[in-house]
Structure 1
Amino acid sequence: MQDKELRDQYSLQIPGLLTELKHAAQQWIDQPEQKTFEHFFTKVLDISGSAEMFGQAAIGNVAKSLQAEMSPFFKTDKHPNPSKMKRIIGINQQLLGMMHQPLGNQSSQIREVLFKAKMLDKELMHIIVLEDDLILAKDIKQKLSSTSFEISAIASDDQIQPYFKSNTSCIIANLDNLNDTQLKLMSDMEEIRSSIPLIFISENHSIQARLKAVQSGGQAFITKPLDHTQLLHAIDSLTERQLQQKYRVLIVDDQKSLSDYYASILEASDFEVLAVNNPEHELMSALTDFVPDLILLDLYMPFCNGQDLAGIIRQMDNLLSVPLVFLSAEGSSDLQLRAMSTGADAFLTKPVSPDDLSLTVQSRIKRGRAVYDLVTKDPLSGLLNRRESIRRLDEEISRSRRNNTPLSVAMLDLDHFKKINDTLGHAVGDWVIKYFARSMQLIFRECDIIGRHGGEEFIAIFPDTLPESGQMACKRLKKYITANEQDLPTAFSFSGGLALLNDDDDSKSILERADVALYKAKETGRNKVITATDSPVR
């Protein structure tokens, strides 16, 4: 929604805000108690936090003056004396008079945030490798190509610009072969500064080399001899390859005009946004179905305050690490600190500038996702770990029963994996696990949930899926791996067991049934997936 449209909508709401403010002030004048004062104060906050944001700076400034006069008495045992009460009433009368007048608009320019991560969905990611060691460059190219990257290996920094593509997502450069002038030219490239992370590799382990890399715009530093698993992990982390969905922000604010305004700013920066204006009836379903990366929470709302809602949110295990950011016109640092004691991560004071909002949300989500990954991801495969896989399975079982839709679960196991480790070494075994995980992510749907159950065993959860479709997905996976064997250090296969959720299942029982089917596949020759209670399917 355009900025002008939002300002126009706000102008249409002025009469309603005026009536509410006038009524709340009169209630307090007639009954000067804490309850009526707090109600009056929240109406002032609604205006001071929104007026300037929608082009009504003069009204916003007067409302802020009124807020400053009233703030010392909010949520305290103190009451304004007759002189202070008279001053509050006088400023409020001035505010009411201004809101009666015709409103003019003031232009406010929304500037774009500089750094925006690329979202390529299923498109093959392109990586530029700047390395003059031809043998190492060839090895990097082969390893990364086998995990579904498009690689361009170049020997000179002046070749970088011509190799940029729309899907270029990362640059890997040998720090040791670049002088200060070359590093400066690289760090000044608009593409690198705006959206493409830079990974340096080096034989130098010193802090001076690392400092040089950071000052040149490097976001990761890997020492030689090169560990390809570590390199792949760095690429995943910086490009968020495992999390290609947009950043998801939940806005909880009883004022629709404000939530629309925040949403327009964040959507312009490519965030996915859901607004809740009636938390009493909409919040719980939004938390369950939307699963936000960050929650923007108004501090003062009619149903209950944001601090109480933050307490409710922090009771939910899957939202413990989700950043909470309070939004309020509240200027008291003491009240801000008290509000954040419930578990909020930041406090933005209204009116919030577009850049402040976008940068705060983006940085908090990136940090929140990094922490979430440490807790929920298997470090080798990049898939969900066992605990998180089972938690997600419990969620999907509940959703399946609530929506009356099918749910299939597969247990997949790499065949003869111990032999691969014993004969070719653990480095090759680790690469096979990485490749298998990457293949599942490429072949299975985005809505499918994949985890490493332990060792060489994996779990795949297929929502809204019957076993026949699950079998087809596993066959596509087998076909993909077989077709790319020439790019791998060793050929391998997998076996699996597939089970459909029944009326009596919980997560433990459906996994047990899938596991029994898996062992039947192992006993009858491997390299196949068997559906529980069904005949083997090759």
Structure 2
Amino acid sequence: APRPARKATRSDSGSRHIYILEEEAAAGESMRLTLNNFGYQAEHFNSIAGLDAALQQHLPDALIVDVNLPGESCSGLDYAARLQQRLDAPLPLLVLTQQDDFATQLQAVRAGALGFFAKPVDIPQLESRLERCFAQQHGEPYRVLIVDDDQDLASRYSLVLRGAGMLVEVLREPAQIFAHLRDFNPEVVLLDVNMPDCTGPELAQIIRCNDDWLRIPIIYLSAETDIAKQMSALIKAGDDFVSKPISDHALVATVFSRAQRARLLSNALARDSLTGLLKHGDIKEQVAIELERALRSGDRASVAMLDIDHFKRVNDSHGHAAGDNVIRALANLLRQRLRRIDSLGRYGGEEFLAVLPDCPPEQARLILDEIRQRFAELRFIAEGGEFSCTLSAGIAGTDVHSDAEQLRERADKALYAAKHGGRNQVRLAE
């Protein structure tokens, strides 16, 4: 196959571009339509030649390949492996297969696969993996706080880490640590051990006295080579010890690995494990924050409560695993279809809460009604066969007469009216 042309570039639009290589027309088209419902721009190809022609013009954001291609001279994995070698940077790759043996999975991993799905494919589950891949690739820059009285050295570290795409603040006075932790909210603290008025281990212990900052990794920087002294500093409060001088590559690798782990842990604590959305308490707090902002600016915001219709039937008929897939699919659909500034949370069970800044209720109704239609078109696969679900939603707009709890209750009453009005609809609060 020819090498993709230099003019081929990844998608710059808001929606992700996905290429699907699947010889079976019905399965490929079903996948394309479902991913489009999720907000992706998906294209289906039933031959390697067709896919190669598209690659000459445009590189997708991800590639989905079926292992079994009876009409081709090579398997989907062989083709994907050769394609990845020709690219300057590998594409996120998801693999579809009828066999899930170890050898096939090993070959898939060697080709750069980030997901492996047995047929028939649960497409909402596949979309969830796509979303996770993109979140890892295009997350916000890591935030690093450097505390060092040596201005030249701190500036050098800052320059190196900024060059690696991180956000960096430098602090020379330990007494200002509280303001920096509160305002900058670092994901890693680089801490000099030997400072004149307050040593690194002492400052680390001060940081650890506050439960809100327990999750922040502390990396000591020091020319100290005595292992016993290094261990003493780590035991008091700290997570890693880096000896000066340190190479640029080693500094970036150490900070990156710690920051990545810290962010994963922070997200796990703040977000619902099934959906990746905010938990009950956090999304309720967003309602209060957005109400205050709307009252200050004079712009109207909307709060929406959403609930999956007849969800108990899904669990009873298809099992709780299928029910989890439905919940996850709705969470992903909401995340895809709403804006970055909107807040989403799993309010409880199969119920969701969305906060839409600068969005009047009438506009919110149009947005959520489109999401309702898209959700109804999704198809789920379980042991009991293929099935679909619907949702109901209630929307309330901010005003000077409602506090945060009253605003949520008004949206909940509108949801209740939608349920009793026949379900599969969106209602505005009176």
Equivalent residue, structure 1, for 2:392: 494
Equivalent residue, structure 2, for 1:268: 163
8 Å CA contact 1:229–1:380 kept in 2: the answer is: no
1:453 aligns with 2:347: yes
Equivalent residue, structure 2, for 1:205: 100
Percent identity between the aligned chains?
Answer: 25
Shift of 1:412: 0.8
SS of structure 2 residue aligned to 1:384: coil
SS of structure 2 residue aligned to 1:528: strand
Shift of 1:409: 7.8
Q: 1:262 to 1:126 in 2, by over 3 A?
A: farther
8 Å CA contact 1:411–1:457 kept in 2: the answer is: no
Shift of 1:418: 3.3
SS of structure 2 residue aligned to 1:340: helix
5 Å matches for 1:149-168?
149-156=40-47, 159-160=51-52, 162-163=54-55, 168=60
More helix by proportion, 1 or 2? 1
Equivalent residue, structure 2, for 1:37: none
Equivalent residue, structure 1, for 2:126: 231
Whole-angstrom distance in 1 between the partners of 2:212 and 2:158: 24
SS of structure 2 residue aligned to 1:151: strand
8 Å CA contact 1:125–1:167 kept in 2: the answer is: no
Equivalent residue, structure 1, for 2:427: 528
Shift of 1:454: 1.1
1:132 aligns with 2:19: no
1:437 aligns with 2:331: yes
8 Å CA contact 1:248–1:271 kept in 2: the answer is: yes
Deviations 1:429-475 (A, max 9, x none): 6666445434543454434432101123223346xx5xx74636633
1:355 aligns with 2:249: yes
Name the aligned partner's letter for residue 357 of structure 1: L
5 Å matches for 1:405-484?
410=303, 412-414=305-307, 416-418=309-311, 421=314, 433-434=327-328, 436-442=330-336, 444-461=338-355, 469=359, 471=361, 474-481=364-371, 484=374
8 Å CA contact 2:394–2:428 kept in 1: the answer is: yes
Shift of 1:219: 3.0
Shift of 1:236: 2.2
Shift of 1:400: 6.1
TM-score by length of 1: 0.61
Whole-angstrom distance in 2 between the partners of 1:484 and 1:175: 29
Structure 2 residue runs of 5 or longer lacking an equivalent are: 1-8, 70-74, 380-387
Shift of 1:239: 1.7
Q: 1:478 to 1:153 in 2, by over 3 A?
A: same
How many aligned residue pairs are there?
400
Deviations 1:139-188 (A, max 9, x none): 22222221111223334556358527777332222345537754542342
Equivalent residue, structure 1, for 2:85: 188
Equivalent residue, structure 1, for 2:148: 253
Whole-angstrom distance in 2 between the partners of 1:183 and 1:430: 31
Shift of 1:241: 6.6
Whole-angstrom distance in 2 between the partners of 1:472 and 1:350: 60
1:289 aligns with 2:183: yes
Cα RMSD after superposing both structures: 4.3
Q: 1:413 to 1:135 in 2, by over 3 A?
A: same
Shift of 1:502: 8.9
Whole-angstrom distance in 2 between the partners of 1:380 and 1:163: 35
Name the aligned partner's letter for residue 97 of structure 2: S
8 Å CA contact 1:119–1:246 kept in 2: the answer is: no
Shift of 1:191: 4.0
8 Å CA contact 1:248–1:292 kept in 2: the answer is: yes
Name the aligned partner's letter for residue 527 of structure 1: V
8 Å CA contact 2:305–2:415 kept in 1: the answer is: no
Deviations 1:302-327 (A, max 9, x none): 44233333334445555444433333
Q: 1:481 to 1:447 in 2, by over 3 A?
A: closer
Q: Which of these two proteins has the greater Rg computed from alpha carbons?
A: 1
Structure 1 residue runs of 5 or longer lacking an equivalent are: 1-117, 531-535
Equivalent residue, structure 2, for 1:217: 112
Whole-angstrom distance in 1 between the partners of 2:215 and 2:11: 26
